[in-house]
Amino acid sequence: MSGTQLTVTLSGGGADDARAVVRALEGTFGSPDELPADENATVHTATFDGDTNAGPAGGDGAGSGQLSAPVTVTVQGSPEAVRRASDTLTRAFTARDDGAASGDQEQERQLLLEP
pTM of the model: 0.85
Sheet holding 6-11, edge to edge: 43-48, 6-11, 71-77, 107-114, 94-102
pLDDT score recorded for residue 58: 40
Q: What is the pLDDT of residue 1?
A: 47
| Confidence grade of residue 61 (pLDDT, cut at 50, 70, 90) | very low
DSSP code, position 46: E
Annotate 1-35 with DSSP letters as a single string.
--TT-EEEEEESS-HHHHHHHHHHHHHHH--BS--
Name the more confident of 2 and 35: 35
In the predicted structure, residue 31 carries a pLDDT above the cut 90? yes
Written as one letter, the residue type at 48 is: F
Could you give the angle at the alpha carbon of 19 between the alpha carbons of 57 and 92, nearest 5°?
35
Over residues 76-113, the pLDDT tens digits come to 999 999 999 999 999 999 999 999 998 888 999 999 99
